[in-house]
Amino acid sequence: MSEKLILIGGAGGFIGGHLVADLLSQGHTRIRAVDIKPLEEWHQVFPQVENLQLDLSRLDACEQAAKGAATIYNLAADMGGMGFIENNKALCMLSVLINTHLLMAAKDAGVERYFYSSSACVYNADKQRDPNVTALKEADAYPGMPEDGYGWEKLFSERMCRHFREDFGMVTRVARYHNVYGPNGTYDGGREKAPAAICRKVIEAKLSGKHEIEIWGDGHQTRSFMYITDCLYGTQAILKSDILEAINLGSSELVTINQLVDVVEEIAGIQLKRSYNLSAPKGVNGRNSDNTLIKELLGWEPCTRLRDGMEKTYKWIYDEIVAKK
């Protein structure tokens, strides 16, 4: 398999960059890394692979990217944390062009396996109103009432993968990511997600001596967070599997946002005065991954403890911030 060409869409992003690194470490020699951003803006760049700056929302770019590929990982999307998602619904919806055009190009190119990175944002909002949430099973995506904009795009693109499989015989696999975090990601600028944002805020409070932190929402909203190494393993295992329908890929370790702040404060060795911005975007009140199906089908589930993953993430962001200062 190491001689067959692997295409990674969104390779300049957080997960995509880590996936390129992981595939290289396994001995894969033919990798095509594609992203819309200029190379200098990629989170990780590897000169030994074919790096292309292409807009995968365009069919011609997808045809160029897919040519000769045996495997495609589609991680490309215009997205970010809750602040970005709630304020850029049209931009999020336009990512439907990426998956649609890449599926069309993959079909014509005879691609053997196609992976699509969906999201827990596809789940019905009515099932996520209580912080003491019942973990979400795969069937809870229907009847459809996903996150407005971003969630609708993900749910539609899941269906597109399904119908390309049913109608054209393509091998498509779909994972619903639950809040992936780790080093080498976005931690400022408005597109960062909660783990990175809280690390940044705690670090800035520590370095400035102003021991205060603003938390979006009331801090009682609950989430689970999956460390990047678990995401990489699960993504590749799902692609290689016989799992036809979209499946959860996330940790089942549920925490409140307040508890997430507790973890980062402990790592930093500091306690901060907390203020709560109740008008800021905060997403659903509760969301957790039910891992019954992935344990049954793969005999595995994401297992990195939040404390362990956050320690590595905090150290990387701390070093980045100090280096910039």
> How far, in whole angstroms, is CA 147 from its chain's centroid?
15
Q: Give the DSSP letter string of 106-136.
A: HHHHT-SEEEEEEEGGGS-GGGGSSSSPPPB
Q: Do you find a cis peptide bond into 143, omega within 30 degrees of 0?
A: yes
Tell me, yes or no, if 150 is annotated catalytic.
yes
Q: Are 263 and 305 in contact (CB under 8 A)?
A: no
Catalytic residue among 73, 114, 123, 150: 150
At CA 156, angle to CA 120 and CA 250, rounded to 5? Answer: 15
Burial 235-258 (b: 16+ CB within 10 A, else e): bbbbbeeebeebbbbbbbbbbbbb
Q: Can you tell me the distance from the alpha carbon of 294 to that of 297, in angstroms, rounded to the nearest whole number? A: 5
Q: Two tokens at 324?
A: 């910039």
Q: Can you tell me the distance from the alpha carbon of 150 to that of 90, in angstroms, rounded to the nearest whole number? A: 8
Best CA proximity match to 321, nearest among 229, 202, 195: 202
| Residue with token string 């190494």 | 229
List, in order, residues 6 or more apart from 260 with CB less than 8 Å away: 194, 195, 198, 223, 225, 306, 310
| Active site residues per annotation | 150
